[in-house]
Amino acid sequence: MSNNYDVIVVGAGHAGSEAALAAARMGAKTLVLTISLDFIAQLPCNPAMGGPAKSHLIREIDALGGEIGKASDACAIQMRKLNTSKGPAVQSLRAQIDRVLYLRYMKRVLEDQENLDLKQGMVEKILFDGDEVSGVETELGLIYQAPKVILATGTFLNGKLIIGEYTEITGPDGMKPSLALSDNLHELKLPLRRFKTGTPARVAGKSLDFSKMIEQKSWEEPLRFSFEGEYPSLPTRSCWLTYTSEKTHQIIRDNIDRAPMFIGGIEGPGPRYCPSIEDKIMRFADKERHQLFLEPTGLETDEYYVQGMATSLPIDVQMEFYRSIPGLENVEIMRPGCAMEYDCLDPTELTYELEIKSFKGLYSAGQLNGTSGYEEAAAQGMMAGINAVLALRDQEPFHLTRSQAYIGVLIDDLITKGTNEPYRLMTARSEYRLLLRQDNADRRLTEFGYRLGLISEERYQRFKNKMVIVDKQLQRLEKTFLPPSAELNQALIAANTTPLEHGASLTSLLRRPQLDISFLRRFDSELDALPLDILEQIEIETIYAGYIRQQSEQVERQRRMESALLPEKAKYEEMRGISREAAEKLDKIKPRNIGQASRISGVSPADISVLTIWLEQQKRKRRAN
């Protein structure tokens, strides 16, 4: 048995799976070590993928050649569009996923991948040759050697389950926790902190009264995450909406002295944008009710996930307050809600490549970096896998900027600003939202995936053909004029917009707020023959052309700041005029350029002015020499 590899990935969740697939598909001999082969890419929390910013990440990963989009499409039992009444920058897809099918799908993909070995084993120690990684050691004393190791341990490091007064050292879903590796990272003097995540109860569908809830069916229009492959074909299942009652709130208030998060039973902060129900009741006391969704967890199970009701209250309190909710009066809890605490890294200790600064060849991805969410984890895993292989080849690293992808926003936020709580990506975190839409992720990133060897020649040619069609149609819409006619004017009046007296271009008609591209298809046969994904891009690029141009100009201004590179060994504490706080933060983060420095918390515009002047002085000195 050969134990020598190019890349070793520790963990096979969403980060580990994408890291391993990217590395193997780029030709590196890759090993994945996981605590259990039966829980690869599991969904320990909600059985869903996507949502605002998260579906953007899935599309970006797919455009680069990742797997999460295809897996989600193959295992989706419901697919919906969100924020359809808002602009295209915040519109997104969300899918309910069959949990069991998803992990089976990903396990098969990993097993079938060339250059990839999948093994069950608990990693307890990272091995080094000097300050460079040389491999890992498992609980059985097996040593696997590799110059690149990617840690993707999720919430397993020193994991602790909390329900009321009950606590247990464990991993998610009752799996073994990773204790020795956490101790090893402490020995390496890596700064670990404690974070918390939580889940609601899973309940029996047969105990629910759906007649008291609002049904949410799957979208009728065919939808998918991946830019290639098949549309979801599994039978669909509905979600159900209901609300808490005043009685629910009173039960929680009466038992708040038994809530671990309020009596010191939980050490780490939880995700701000996904709080527990007890936290919501206490923080938003003026709210008369909170919505929750009953989400099916699969086709072959009666289990429902109570989205919006995460809790770590004792089980008797959970039973009481769940039964105070319309439709849940006779609910039976199959798995109680709980909180999970775990160790994670300070992400400011990472480079843009997600390599830990103090150890060459050691990378970190996913919840270990302080993030929450499957999609955020998968994006980091893919980038870590790509950059580990590029480093092996002594090639330039692969970075995505904030203007190129939400992946770039995610990584830049983590390593530049850090996080004091589980980080969740949102569309509001991007200053270039209109450029980073989910519909154009292929236009933005497929070229990169192809150059990296993650996109096949066949797929790349299909992508290029699609872009040719989009660009030609955008030009054609400008030059194609519809003359006034009785039929057209009657349709315009019916749409509450002005009828034509003279000919009008398709572009000008499409920019009328009362019209959309489906209207134009009735009067233009070429548009009517195009697939929906191409029509979507044409419509958005036409309607928002002016705003897109404005954001592109902002990107160019920011690009000039990003091109002002800072020396890695700059001595900020010696710079006259810079604040002490800024000097400390700059020395810790070691920003690569003025743009990144400007985003560091505690670095003021005045500090940036000092940096800019200092950088110009250094350039003059070099020219003089």
- Of all helices (H) and strands (E), which one includes residue 595? helix 594-598
Cβ pair 384, 391 in contact under 8 A? no
Domains and CATH numbers, the chain: 7-196+342-452 (3.50.50.60), 202-339 (2.40.30.260), 471-550 (1.10.10.1800), 563-624 (1.10.150.570)
Q: For 1-17, what is each residue's pLDDT tens digit?
A: 569 999 999 999 999 99
Cβ pair 312, 279 in contact under 8 A? no
Residue 562 binned pLDDT confidence (cut-offs 50, 70, 90): confident
Please report the pLDDT score of residue 1 as a whole number. Answer: 57
The candidate with the shortest Cα–Cα distance to 122, out of 180, 192, 169, is 180
Alpha-carbon distances, residue 571 vs 358, 418, 568, 589, 590 (angstroms): 18, 22, 9, 13, 10
The predicted model gives 137-152 an average pLDDT of: 97
Please report the pLDDT score of residue 482 as a whole number. Answer: 95
User: Is residue 84 pLDDT above 70, yes or no?
Assistant: yes
Q: For 316-361, what is each residue's pLDDT tens digit?
A: 999 999 999 999 999 999 999 999 999 999 999 999 999 999 999 9
The predicted model gives 497-508 an average pLDDT of: 95
* Percent of all residues in the chain with a pLDDT value above 70, rounded to a whole number: 100
Alpha-carbon distances, residue 509 vs 425, 488, 492, 505 (angstroms): 36, 11, 10, 6
Q: For 29-40, what is each residue's pLDDT tens digit?
A: 999 999 999 999
- Of all helices (H) and strands (E), which one includes residue 33? strand 30-34
Please report the pLDDT score of residue 35 as a whole number. Answer: 95
User: Is residue 141 pLDDT above 70, yes or no?
Assistant: yes
Q: For 247-298, what is each residue's pLDDT tens digit?
A: 999 999 999 999 998 888 888 888 887 889 999 999 888 899 999 999 999 9
The candidate with the shortest Cα–Cα distance to 561, out of 528, 524, 588, 598, is 598
Separation between Cα atoms, residue 420 and residue 84, nearest integer Å: 32
Give the distance, in angstroms, between the CA of residue 470 and the centroid of all CA atoms in the same chain: 28
The end-to-end CA distance of the chain, in Å, is 58
Whole-number average pLDDT of the chain:
94
* Percent of all residues in the chain with a pLDDT value above 90, rounded to a whole number: 82
**Partner residues linked to 333 by β-bridges:** 203
Comparing 79 with 571, the larger pLDDT belongs to 79
Label residue 75 exposed, middle or buried (CB < 10 Å: 0-12, 13-18, 19+). Answer: buried
Please report the pLDDT score of residue 618 as a whole number. Answer: 86
Separation between Cα atoms, residue 398 and residue 502, nearest integer Å: 52
Cβ pair 320, 223 in contact under 8 A? no
The DSSP annotation for 555-573 comes to HHHHHHHHTSBPPTT--GG
Please report the pLDDT score of residue 554 as a whole number. Answer: 87
Please report the pLDDT score of residue 173 as a whole number. Answer: 84
Lowest mean pLDDT among 75-79, 253-257, 284-288, 446-450: 284-288
Cβ pair 214, 241 in contact under 8 A? yes
The token duo for 108 is 């098969």
The token duo for 408 is 């770039």
Separation between Cα atoms, residue 218 and residue 376, nearest integer Å: 25
Q: Cα 434–439–443 angle (5° rounding)? A: 90
| Beta-carbon count within 10 A of 371 CB | 26
